[in-house]
Structure 1
Amino acid sequence: MGSILEEISAATTFTSKEEEKDIEVLPGMVIKVDGTVVRNSDHALPTTDINVSSSPIFVNNVASKDIVIDSEAGVWGRLFLPESVTGDHTNKLPLVVYYHGGGFCMGNAGGESPTYQSIRLCRTSNVVVISASYRLAPEDRLPVAFKDACTTMSWLQKQCKYQAGEAEAGDPWLMNHADFSRVFVMGQSAGGNIAHHVAVFKPIDELKPLIVQGIVPIVPFFSAEAISESEKNVSEDEILPLGKHHTFWRLALPLNATRDHPYCNPLSADAPKLAEVKFPRLLVIVGGKDPLYTRQIEYYDALKQAGKEVELVEVPEGTHIFRKIPALEAENVRVDKAISDFIHKSE
């Protein structure tokens, strides 16, 4: 029996007979008998007509290409450029580092959802975007994802030094078009949790001359051992029912950890005090019908009480994946504007 499968037995419920066959621990995620994890990262999510292949030429006003960040760890990213950069190397654009969702167990930097979000962000905010990968649980449990995110930030710090002429030439797209004094860390769901932990694990002062001006957690994936009011109200949510939510955490957290672990609950007694974390400005975006809504609002309130500069955007009818729901397009346009205003506020 593979070691991964042995760990899964502690995180899920199946009998000894079931140990001899493939196990679907989550919809779209199967652990095979040999311990191999097989994923369909966009399982059961609304789809768009987005082409997930990178395109170094401009298609629908955005170009993209894949880059290697850390070959040993397997960390990579997909760079997105808006067509507004064409022929202009002097007017550099803000750089957004985007981390995808998937409960720390699913998804990838070039998947349909992060590609859709990155292209949309390029178009609506006129920014350079890097959709950054991170290793997934249960093969690599937390804090590996946080460390990979910090690896990406350190790589960008080197790119910033290249641009300043302190070392050999860096990536030409970043050299020509990214403003490293206007960097924003953004993520959706698990990626929103990662965006928070980038500030916890990698103090922004240590990233200079790279300057992180803001963090944007979108429907951040936070929880706690106690069941919240929003979790009770939508326990059978179509996308994130309570059982699925808890399974993600059992697979992602260190073995034997509870949902009050600081990686899951940033307000737990053992978590770093928010007042002591050097956050830049924050924009927290939530959906009123998200099962995680209560925890997200508690997080926002705690940031305010800690004296942080934080804004809140709430979509009353928003579910956990409202950013992909066509019926909520008018609300998503409002969110687009809030993000753009937040990014360009300092200009």
Structure 2
Amino acid sequence: MSAMTMGTNLSRLQMKSKAPQVVEEIEGLIKVYNDGHVERPEIVPNVGCSLAPDLGVTCREAIIDQYTHLWARIYVPTAANKLPLLLYFHGGGFCVGSASWSCYHELLPKLAARAACAVVSVNYRLAPEHPLPAAYDDGVKAAVWAKQQEFAGEWWAGRCDFSRFFLGGDSAGANIAYNVGLRANSAGVGVRGLVLIQPFFGGEARTRSEMCAARPAAALTVAASDAYWRMALPAGAGRDHPWCSAAGSAGEMRQAGAAVLVCVAEADILRDRNLEFCGGLAREGVRVEQVVSKGVGHAFQILNKSQLAQTRLHELLSHVKNFVGR
């Protein structure tokens, strides 16, 4: 082999060895490379604001902070005034998802219409590019912004009763709502209650529902859960970190004074952790309501189109309506 050929082969090997390597991956959702590059396949389409007229809901978007690209999609029932206001955070393990995902653009108009409330769906920054507490910071900023609209003359704000201000979300979004709720009073935002749908909490020790193997096609597996936490938590933090565990924050929530609705899915790997979370809140004197959707798994309300899931979604929306309508 000539010296030139040997040199060419060596150069190719060196180039190959320097190629970015995948360091985290959740198949079909996200790939993270060792050079910081992140790929998110468009597994769920992003859609615009248009809605079918028969839904009776108006939808528009608003910029909250142009410097951090923080924005919201707002859903308001057209036939009512003095509406409760629900600031909503989408799920996705802190790492994927958008307020413009089609599954949320399908769910949230139904929620607004059925629960007779205005919904402000927040598009917060994602990990791992923006690890926690970035999403919490965005949530607080969105809550302060929403509260400021009470007297700003915005098209939707005049329809709302700001004394009935709620925070909510599903999965990681429910975790965000909870942590924003802990900060809300100090930020000058009075929150009446939290709507937490299958809240995404974790811990180093496994619960029984986590140890019972979920189907590979489940919306959330233990392996995916662990990967999300590795990408979302600050460097070096484990799953007993307070942002993941929430075990020691029930007293803070009692001081915050907000009531809490926790919606649990029976076939979710998070079921037992959600039930333990409810028990911890109750022991600290938090006004907590717990509902369990039978026979369905994590994120059924946005991903499962079966007749059973649609029945459970109808029930879930009724619980939210009763909670925010008081």
**TM-score bracket, shorter-length normalisation:** 0.7 to 0.9
Whole-angstrom distance in 2 between the partners of 1:182 and 1:140: 31
The 1:185–1:287 alpha-carbon spacing in structure 2 relative to 1, beyond 3 Å, is same
Output one character per residue of 1:108-152: Cα deviation in whole Å (capped at 9) or x when no partner.
111122222211111211111110111100000001100100000
Gapped runs of 5+ residues in structure 1?
A: 1-15, 86-90, 163-168
Paired residue for 2:285? 307
What SS does the corresponding residue of 1:264 show, helix, strand or coil? helix
State whether residues 300 and 312 of structure 1, in contact with CA within 8 Å, keep that contact through their aligned partners in structure 2.
yes
- Counterpart position of 1:196: 178
Q: Which residue of 1 aligns with 2:324?
A: 343
Question: Counterparts of 1:14-93 in structure 2 under 5 Å?
Answer: 20-21=19-20, 23=22, 25-27=25-27, 28-31=29-32, 35-40=36-41, 42=43, 52-55=47-50, 58=53, 60-85=55-80, 91-93=81-83
Task: Say if 1:41 and 1:102, in contact at 8 Å, map to a contact too.
Answer: no
Alignment match, 1:142: 132
Task: Label 1:247 to 1:277 Cα distance change in 2 as closer, same or farther (>3 A).
Answer: farther
Query: Structure 1: how far apart are the matches of 2:52 and 2:266?
Result: 39
Range 24-33 or range 176-185, more displaced: 24-33
2:149 matched to 1:159?
yes
Contact 1:19/1:33 (CA < 8 Å) preserved in 2?
A: no
| Distance in 1 of aligned mates of 2:182 and 2:18 | 38
Kindly provide the amino acid, as one letter, of the partner of residue 254 in structure 1: P
Percent of aligned positions that are identical:
32
- Displacement, 1:81? 1.6
Q: Does 1:217 align with 2:217?
A: no
DSSP-derived class of the 1:285 partner: strand
* Conserved? CA contact 1:94–1:179, under 8 Å: yes
2:12 is matched with which residue? none
Tell me the CA shift for residue 156 of structure 1: 1.4
Partner Cα separation in structure 1 for residue 311 and residue 247 of structure 2: 33
**Bigger-Rg structure (1/2):** 2
1:275, distance to aligned residue in structure 2 (A):
5.9
RMSD over equivalenced CA pairs, Å? 2.4
1:108 maps to amino acid: S
SS of the residue aligned with 2:238? Answer: coil
Please name the residue that 2:7 is paired with: none
How far does residue 219 in structure 1 lie from its aligned partner after superposition? Answer: 0.2
Query: Among 230, 233, 246, which residue is 1:253 paired with?
Result: 233
More helix per residue: 2
Give the alignment partner of residue 154 of structure 2, picking from 165, 171, 178. Answer: 171
Question: What amino acid is aligned across from residue 173 of structure 1 in structure 2?
Answer: W
Closer/same/farther in 2, CA of residues 315 and 276 from structure 1, 3 Å limit: closer
Deviation of 1:40 after TM superposition, in Å, equals 3.0
| SS at 2:72 equivalent | strand
Note the C-alpha offset of 1:201: 2.2
Corresponding position of 1:13: none
Aligned-pair CA distance for 1:255: 0.5
TM-score (norm 2): 0.86
Q: Distance in 1 between matches of 2:18 and 2:243?
A: 29
Residue 278 (structure 1) shift: 0.9
